[in-house]
């Protein structure tokens, strides 16, 4: 994607989110990509409008974006990710019409017993936990279950861990998004590995490569007594993720102990 190429005037408001997407790794752009900034940008475009006026505005933006991205030279533009979001927003903009709420004070976090000599920190903006250990980056956050869309997304992925992206959209009741998955990709399925660590259960997905540089990433979707947790562990080398198992078994959600 040519970051210097300007967007059409109607879509200029998406430029901050476009820049956000370019900073992510290619594997990080997809179903779980953070849309907080995108929601704020869209809200600024439709605030004060009626539901019908908002639908008309977003439908026009969607049409303009699809036209812009239809050029073959833009087939790898990461704004393709935004098409599905705009499609949903144009059909049902009521949630986006609500003024953004002030972020609540974070009082509880993802907690876990840490490996020896591991460095950790909590996010000031979310309940996430970051850990650095043996050259590996560990990131865990609580899955949102606060609305029907988010809840169904998590539950479908947890209960149907080996389905394709196309099948996942259908199971979530989103046939329009399913149809946007290219036919050649509809049979592609990530293979999950079951995780059973006592009260912590779920799935993990392993990916790695050695060209042009060695890397490995392990993604988890885990259920703990209090909630669902999404985790990624990444490193620029191959590693044995089972070394994390004794610590994953201690995952919990709550207030850290007072020191």
Residues 179-235: tens digit of each pLDDT: 878 888 889 888 899 999 999 999 999 999 887 889 999 999 999 998 999 999 999
Instruction: Please report whether residue 182 resides in a domain.
Output: no
Provide CB contacts within 8 A for 6, sequence distance 6+: 12
pLDDT at position 57: 92
Same domain, 37 and 121: no
Same domain, 85 and 195: no
If one compares 111 and 150, the residue with the highest pLDDT of the two is 111
| CATH code, domain with 118 | 3.40.1000.10
End residue of a domain, out of 38, 71, 97: 97
Tokens of 216: 């490995």
Instruction: Please report whether residue 153 resides in a domain.
Output: no
pLDDT at position 103: 59
The 8-class DSSP code of residue 213 comes to S
pLDDT at position 229: 95
Tens-place pLDDT, residues 166-182:
898 899 888 887 887 88
Same domain, 59 and 27: yes
pLDDT at position 245: 97
Same domain, 34 and 92: yes
Same domain, 210 and 234: yes
Give one word for 219, left, alpha or beta, with left for phi > 0 and alpha for psi -120 to 50: beta
* Distance from C-alpha of 217 to C-alpha of 130, rounded to nearest angstrom: 15
Per the structure, how many domains does the chain have? 2
Tokens 């004794």 identify what position?
Answer: 246
Instruction: Please report whether residue 4 resides in a domain.
Output: no
Instruction: Please report whether residue 159 resides in a domain.
Output: no
Tokens 């907080």 identify what position?
Answer: 36
Helices (H), the chain: 15-22, 36-46, 51-69, 80-91, 94-97, 148-159, 165-171, 175-179, 245-248
Write phi, then psi, for 226 (nearest 5 degrees): -90, -25
Tokens 């490193």 identify what position?
Answer: 235
Q: Is the pTM of this model over 0.85?
A: no
Half-sphere exposure (CA, 13 Å, Cβ side) for 73?
3
Tens-place pLDDT, residues 28-61:
777 667 888 888 898 899 888 898 999 999 999 9
pLDDT at position 221: 95
Instruction: Please report whether residue 162 resides in a domain.
Output: no
Are 47 and 57 in contact by the 8 Å Cβ rule? The answer is no
Same domain, 78 and 194: no
Same domain, 28 and 143: no
* Triad 154, 17, 37: Cα angle to 5°: 55
pLDDT at position 203: 96
Same domain, 87 and 201: no
Instruction: Please report whether residue 3 resides in a domain.
Output: no
pLDDT at position 2: 46
% of the chain at pLDDT higher than 90: 43
> Which secondary structure element, helix H or strand E, spans residue 137, and what is its range?
strand 136-142
Tally of CB atoms within 10 A around 68: 16
Instruction: Please report whether residue 91 resides in a domain.
Output: yes
> Which secondary structure element, helix H or strand E, spans residue 70, and what is its range?
none
Q: Structural domain of residue 214, as residue ranges?
A: 109-147+189-254
Does residue 104 have a pLDDT over 80? no
Same domain, 18 and 93: yes
Provide CB contacts within 8 A for 39, sequence distance 6+: 96, 100
pLDDT at position 131: 94
pLDDT at position 200: 97
What mean pLDDT is predicted for residues 52-77?
Answer: 89
* Distance from C-alpha of 200 to C-alpha of 244, rounded to nearest angstrom: 13
Tokens of 42: 């869209």
Tokens of 135: 């050259």
- Cis omega (within 30 of 0) for bond into 5: no
Instruction: Please report whether residue 168 resides in a domain.
Output: no
Same domain, 51 and 138: no
Same domain, 139 and 13: no
Confidence of residue 1 (pLDDT cuts 50, 70, 90): very low
Same domain, 14 and 49: yes
Does residue 97 have a pLDDT over 70? yes
Write phi, then psi, for 230 (nearest 5 degrees): -105, 135
Does residue 7 have a pLDDT over 60? yes
Of these ranges, 19-33, 48-62, 83-97, the one predicted with the greatest mean pLDDT is 48-62
pLDDT at position 144: 85
Identify the weakest region by mean pLDDT among 52-56, 79-83, 129-133: 79-83
Which residue, among 106, 104, 96, has the nearest Cα to 35 in the 3D structure? 96
């Amino acid at each position: 994607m040519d970051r210097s190429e300007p967007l059409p005037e109607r879509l200029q408001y998406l430029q901050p989110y476009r820049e956000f997407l370019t900073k992510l790794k290619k594997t990080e752009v997809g179903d779980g990509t953070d849309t907080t900034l995108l929601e704020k940008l869209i809200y600024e475009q439709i605030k004060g409008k009626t539901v019908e006026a908002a639908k008309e505005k977003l439908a026009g933006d969607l049409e303009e974006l699809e036209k812009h991205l239809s050029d073959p030279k833009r087939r790898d533009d990461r704004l393709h990710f935004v098409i599905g979001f705009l499609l949903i927003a144009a059909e049902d903009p009521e949630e986006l019409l609500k003024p953004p709420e002030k972020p609540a004070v974070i009082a509880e976090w993802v907690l876990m017993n840490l490996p020896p000599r591991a460095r950790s920190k909590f996010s000031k903006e979310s309940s996430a936990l970051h850990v650095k250990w043996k050259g590996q980056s560990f990131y865990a956050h609580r899955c949102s279950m606060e609305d029907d869309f988010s809840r169904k997304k998590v539950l479908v992925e947890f209960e149907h861990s080996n389905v394709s992206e196309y099948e996942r959209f259908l199971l979530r009741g989103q046939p329009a998004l399913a149809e946007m998955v290219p036919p050649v990709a509809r049979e592609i399925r990530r293979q999950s590995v079951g995780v059973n660590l006592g009260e912590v259960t779920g799935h993990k997905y392993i990916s790695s490569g050695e060209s042009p540089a060695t890397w490995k990433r392990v993604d988890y979707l885990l259920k703990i007594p209090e909630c669902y947790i999404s985790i990624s562990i990444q490193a620029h080398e191959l590693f044995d993720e089972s070394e994390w198992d004794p610590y994953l078994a201690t995952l919990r959600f709550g207030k850290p102990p007072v020191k």
